[in-house]
């Protein structure tokens, strides 16, 4: 959905084609994942949850199940919500929402977000492959993981095809601070490993700026005499009021009245 919706709004023909190609392929990946899940659960007690014989749901609720099943399912929510099929939820049953689509509507930002999304998906497949004991499922996961790498490279290429691709906006930044490195975390030490790392790459030339106090006092709005503060102590026979009201007014024995300023 991320790539398809980006493609529908894309005015560049090449990027539109790329986004729709990858988005359509990702739908096939969803189908593959659904079939992997269905295949792995075929013939299991979870697939027989609605069958009268065995009453697996009752056994699950009563805690009469193997320990590995408890670890695998974590809760009854997957069985109750989806049985042996693919569910568009997370592992705890929370439904998928459009809030997962990280799109801002600017190609330079969205392409970078897409690259990051593919990188995260690649890591998830890495972890699934390590946990999966089924040879067939592992083979399918290897294919899906490899396609995430391919998509990441494609989005990198699409970003590189835009010559002026940094920064991710149409407004030029303030050059005074663009290549200024703020050394804020070395606690007064002379060296800054972070500065040395970014400077060594040769992509941009940075200047280091050590943290220091400074700056002018802010310009205040025009003073309003009617609400100016007094620095003298305000007392009324030893009573320090929280406002200019009298004791009787505060106690509700007299109506509050607006008193003219003595200034």
The CATH number for 136's domain is 1.20.1260.10
Claim to verify: residue 111 and residue 36 sit in the same structural domain: yes
Is 90 domain-assigned?
A: yes
Is 253 domain-assigned?
A: no
Residue 65: band (very low, low, confident or very high) from pLDDT cuts 50, 70, 90? low
- Residue 218 Cα to chain centre, angstroms: 35
Using the 3D structure, point to which of 99, 125, 160 is the last residue of a domain.
160
Total domains, the chain: 2
* Residues 71 and 90: beta-carbon distance below 8 Å: no
Please say if the pLDDT value at position 25 is more than 70: yes
Report how far residue 181's alpha carbon sits from residue 178's, in angstroms, rounded to the nearest whole number: 9
* Residues 169 and 107: beta-carbon distance below 8 Å: no
- In this prediction, residue 226 carries a pLDDT of 85
Is 139 domain-assigned?
A: yes
Claim to verify: residue 146 and residue 179 sit in the same structural domain: no
pLDDT tens digit sequence for 163-203: 999 888 888 888 888 999 988 876 666 778 889 999 999 98
Is 62 domain-assigned?
A: no
Identify which of 11-15, 219-223, 250-254 has the greatest average pLDDT: 11-15
CA dihedral 83, 88, 92, 95 (to 10 degrees): -120
Report how far residue 43's alpha carbon sits from residue 47's, in angstroms, rounded to the nearest whole number: 6
Claim to verify: residue 109 and residue 192 sit in the same structural domain: no
Which domain, by its residues, includes 106? Answer: 2-42+84-160
214 compared with 15, residue with greater pLDDT = 15
Claim to verify: residue 117 and residue 203 sit in the same structural domain: no
73 compared with 198, residue with greater pLDDT = 198
Report how far residue 136's alpha carbon sits from residue 143's, in angstroms, rounded to the nearest whole number: 11
Is 28 domain-assigned?
A: yes
* Residues 181 and 192: beta-carbon distance below 8 Å: yes
How many CB atoms sit inside 10 A of residue 106's CB? 13
Is 263 domain-assigned?
A: no
207, containing H or E segment: strand 207-209
Claim to verify: residue 92 and residue 187 sit in the same structural domain: no
* 56, two tokens: 């697996």
Is 47 domain-assigned?
A: no
Claim to verify: residue 115 and residue 148 sit in the same structural domain: yes
Claim to verify: residue 122 and residue 191 sit in the same structural domain: no
* Residues 154 and 110: beta-carbon distance below 8 Å: no
Claim to verify: residue 29 and residue 119 sit in the same structural domain: yes
Is 229 domain-assigned?
A: no
């Amino acid at each position: 959905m991320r790539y398809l919706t980006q493609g529908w709004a894309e005015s560049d023909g090449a990027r539109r084609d790329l986004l729709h190609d990858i988005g359509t392929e990702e739908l096939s990946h969803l189908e593959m994942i659904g079939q992997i899940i269905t295949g792995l659960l075929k013939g299991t007690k979870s697939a027989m949850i609605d069958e009268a014989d065995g009453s697996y749901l009752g056994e699950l609720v009563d805690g009469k199940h193997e320990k590995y099943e408890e670890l695998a399912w974590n809760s009854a929510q997957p069985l109750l919500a989806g049985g042996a099929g693919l569910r568009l939820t997370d592992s705890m049953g929370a439904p998928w929402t459009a809030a997962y689509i990280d799109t801002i509507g600017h190609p330079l930002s969205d392409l970078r977000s897409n690259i990051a999304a593919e990188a995260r998906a690649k890591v998830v497949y890495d972890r699934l492959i390590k946990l999966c004991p089924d040879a067939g499922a592992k083979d399918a996961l290897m294919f899906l993981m490899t396609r995430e790498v391919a998509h990441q490279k494609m989005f990198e290429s699409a970003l590189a095809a835009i010559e002026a691709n940094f920064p991710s906006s149409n407004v030029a930044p303030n050059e005074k601070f663009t290549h200024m490195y703020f050394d804020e975390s070395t606690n007064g030490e002379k060296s800054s490993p972070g500065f040395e790392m970014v400077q060594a790459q040769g992509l941009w030339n940075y200047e280091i700026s050590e943290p220091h106090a400074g700056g002018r006092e802010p310009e205040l709005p025009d003073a309003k005499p009617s609400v100016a503060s007094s620095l003298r102590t305000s007392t009324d026979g030893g009573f320090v009021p929280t406002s200019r009201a009298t004791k009787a007014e505060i106690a509700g024995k007299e109506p509050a009245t607006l008193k003219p300023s003595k200034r």
